[in-house]
A and B are shown apart, each in its own frame.
Chain A
């Protein structure tokens, strides 16, 4: 299977609703989990990250939760706004020939309808 699986691939919500995107990872030793937002025509930009010593981190309307036992982490966006519409990527480190290299999920296209 993939090193990092991201679901769903597309997500449509009404303005004001919440959106949740989930990623699972394969390496139990992974300890750093960032989320990136890519707006149309731009490069991805970090919006929030979490390290394995905490279970949840919040930044205004955005939060990330981590379940190390189940090896998954989720992005939560509350009170969504049209400007939240973008592609979101999760990432996690993958062991291999070089320890700690990040592997990205395939992305989630979030559309927030006004």
Chain B
């Protein structure tokens, strides 16, 4: 089954404790992206990757890092989480930027 998986699905952490949210897709897609969803603000892109070892900032990259060492995986790293990073995070993948994006189920993060 074609899918995008994210882990963990739910996470409660404290300010400053480094965390990683994993994302994996099995569709051999080149384009992958991370979004955060906040009430009233819709989906805002954090980082995206056009291919292995090619990443770039989206609209709200501050406080986040990503890496793309393999085509299927695109982890999101929060080196020092802060309460304003409390949000719902989605990973997505597609063959090209302007084709159907397949979203993961989301990761709900609470930073205390």
Q: How far is it, in angstroms, between the C-alpha of A32 and the C-alpha of B55 when the chains are bound?
A: 22
B45 touches A43 (CB 8 A): no
Indicate if the CB atoms of B48 and A42 lie closer than 8 Å.
Answer: no
Contact of A102 among B90, B97, B106 (CB under 8 A): B97
In the complex, A20 has a CB within 8 A of chain B: no
CA distance A79 to B101 in the complex (A): 27
Compute the total of residue contacts between A and B using a CB distance below 8 Å.
55
Sorting the interface of chain A by its residue count into under 10, 10 to 19, 20 to 34 or 35 or more gives 20 to 34
Determine whether the beta carbon of B43 is less than 8 Å from that of A98: no
Q: Given the complex, which residues of A lie within 8 Å of B43, measured CB to CB? A: 44, 89, 104, 107
Q: B98 at interface (Cβ–Cβ under 8 A)?
A: yes
A46 beta carbon closer than 8 Å to chain B: yes
Interface residue? A57 (CB, 8 A): no
Residue of A32, A97, A107 touching B42 (CB-CB under 8 A): A107
Binding site for B on A (CB under 8 A): 6, 9, 31-32, 34, 36, 41-46, 49, 89, 93, 97-98, 100-107
